[in-house]
Amino acid sequence: MWRRIAITVGVIAAAVGAWVVVGPTQLGGPVTYVIASGDSMEPGIRSGDLMLVREADGYEVGDVVAYRHRQLRRVVVHRVVEVEGDRYVLKGDNNDWLDSYSPTDADVVGTPWVRVPGIGRILSGMAEPRNAGLLAGLLTLLSIGGTGVRRHRRRRSMRAADPRPPERAPVAGPQRPRGAWALPLGAGLLATAVGSGALFVWAGGQPARRAATTTIDYSHRGTFSYDAAATRGEAYPDGTATTGDPLFLELVPEATVRFAYELETPADAEVRGTTALTAVLSDESGWSREFRLQPTTPFRGNAATVEGRLDLAALRAMVQSVQDTTGVPRPQYKLVVTPEVTVTGAVAGAPLEDAFSPELAFMFEPMVVRVNVPTVDGEPTADPMSAAESGSVAVGGIETNRLGIGGFGVAPSDLRTPAGLAAAVFGLVGILLLARSRRRGEGDEADAIRVRYGKWIVPVRQLPEAGTIVDVAAFDGLVRLAEQYEALVLHAKRYGGHVFAVHANGVTYRYEVETTRVDLRHAMGAPAPAPVPVAPDERDEVPSAPPALPVPLFRPVPGAEG
């Protein structure tokens, strides 16, 4: 018992451990199974390779990652070549172009952990409806054949376990019927046929195409820049201040600020919109003033540029006037330039209406104006001159109706033929097996005797008919007689029944068994009929001299066929 418990616990622990290591994400495990297709990652990854993908804490340039491509609606495995903000730019090792879609962390499935070359092609082939039907039929045939093999081995083990008849081994009625396997297997196949028939009916009622919604991503992207004419000297050798340079107020009286905008999307887009540019000067007390650098201006297409002039000398005078009026000097003010972009139109035929308003912040001090760069521990965290924002639109359409099974998809119409074939085959085999279990009624007492004592039984065509015939009430009495006289048990099948006999000293000791029908309750494991009781004198004594009972050796069974 303890050994069985230990084996059971070990098997459960091994199953749990395997699930923790390679359990699929569909069942809550940590691994996503991906089959490579195409040659974009050759020679490292080839079409048909199976990859086990696990999620990582982070991804860097050079990592191979698997991500869900929203336009292609499938998992793509490519290499990260650049990181732009919260998005990854990817490219296939064998491609000359970048991927059209830049995923975020939410789209990334993970990085390949284990790669099994070529096995994915085999799995894909097994998923084909025709191959799946053939595989199911093969497994059914193997299960039927395996049942017969196990039955044969079980019979041999029973014989080996009882090499010679024991002294007192009464036959307790019919043992397990030889055809008992036919009933449960037939019932199981009929249940499978019913399920296949239901699938056949369901698949026939499904439409070939269905409405579908596809998500198309787009991105607002823009770049700030500025330039100014300056007094030539040590600060500005060429007399020009450009993007990134500090603007010294004594040398730069005004500057031009620009914002180049573009709408990026992998789909066709027909858009238009407006642009405007404003600036706000404020201090930490809450005081602020707003300036319109460019009024609202319409544009058409995916791109536009907005620009405006910053009068730095006027802003400096305003700051000085505020300080003189309030009597509160401020060492620093904040100057924020904001482009206001509105976009309307359509992306892939879907309506689009959105706005984009990034900010470029300057620190305005009494003598200099410089770009405010956000930092953490002295390190810049982002490029203040670039801005991006993502969005998406839902596109309606029609697609082939497919049923997702794991990582594969199959159309219901493709399931109809194999489901109908499976229903017909399993139903026919199941009916035949049930008919066999009812018709044959095998598993009577004669079968049990042959299984238990087959090594000591010699089948013969005809038993000796001369001499005295003695009918024995139970087969165990015949066994003791065979031991007493060191004789074999002869077996003949006549008149629809079975006769077992021991011939010794001119006397034939006979035990007859009529072929009985075993009902379904017994075939399903109901208690066997009680054994025929044996009289004490017949059980404990072996006659020393055979009685003279001139009875015929074979007694016809009423209604039996010869």
Tens digit of pLDDT for each residue in 167-177?
333 333 333 44
pLDDT of residue 339: 96
pLDDT of residue 43: 83
pTM over the 0.75 mark? no
pLDDT of residue 228: 95
Q: Which of 169-178, 320-329, 450-459 has the lowest mean pLDDT?
A: 169-178
Which has more pLDDT, 134 or 111? 111
3-state secondary structure of 418: helix
40: Cβ–Cβ under 8 A, 6 or more apart, which residues?
A: 78, 92, 93, 94, 95
CA neighbor of 44 nearest in space, from 60, 58, 63, 25: 63
Q: Residue 16 — very low, low, confident or very high, per pLDDT cuts 50/70/90?
A: low
Q: Are 426 and 185 in contact (CB under 8 A)?
A: no
Asked whether residue 343 carries a pLDDT value surpassing 90, the answer given is: yes
pLDDT of residue 521: 36
pLDDT of residue 423: 82
Tens digit of pLDDT for each residue in 46-102?
888 888 888 888 888 989 999 988 777 788 899 999 998 889 999 998 888 888 888
From CA 274, how far away is CA 280, in angstroms rounded?
20
pLDDT of residue 476: 87
Which has more pLDDT, 455 or 2? 455
Tens digit of pLDDT for each residue in 513-542?
875 443 333 333 334 444 444 444 443 444
Q: Are 85 and 68 in contact (CB under 8 A)?
A: no
- Kindly list the domain boundaries of the chain, sorted by start residue: 25-123, 129-161+180-208+413-440, 214-399
Out of 125-139, 155-169, 287-301, give the one with best mean pLDDT.
287-301
pLDDT of residue 6: 57
3-state secondary structure of 5: helix
For 358, the token pair is: 């990034």
3-state secondary structure of 286: coil
CA distances from 334 to 272, 286, 365, 423 (A): 32, 11, 8, 77
- Per the CATH hierarchy, to which homologous superfamily does domain 25-123 belong? Umud Fragment, subunit A (2.10.109.10)
Which has more pLDDT, 131 or 202? 202
CA neighbor of 186 nearest in space, from 143, 135, 136, 138: 143
Tens digit of pLDDT for each residue in 361-387?
999 998 999 999 887 777 777 889 999
Which has more pLDDT, 462 or 221? 221
Asked whether residue 486 carries a pLDDT value surpassing 90, the answer given is: no
pLDDT of residue 175: 39
Q: If one looks up domain 214-399 in CATH, what number appears?
A: 2.60.40
Which has more pLDDT, 420 or 175? 420
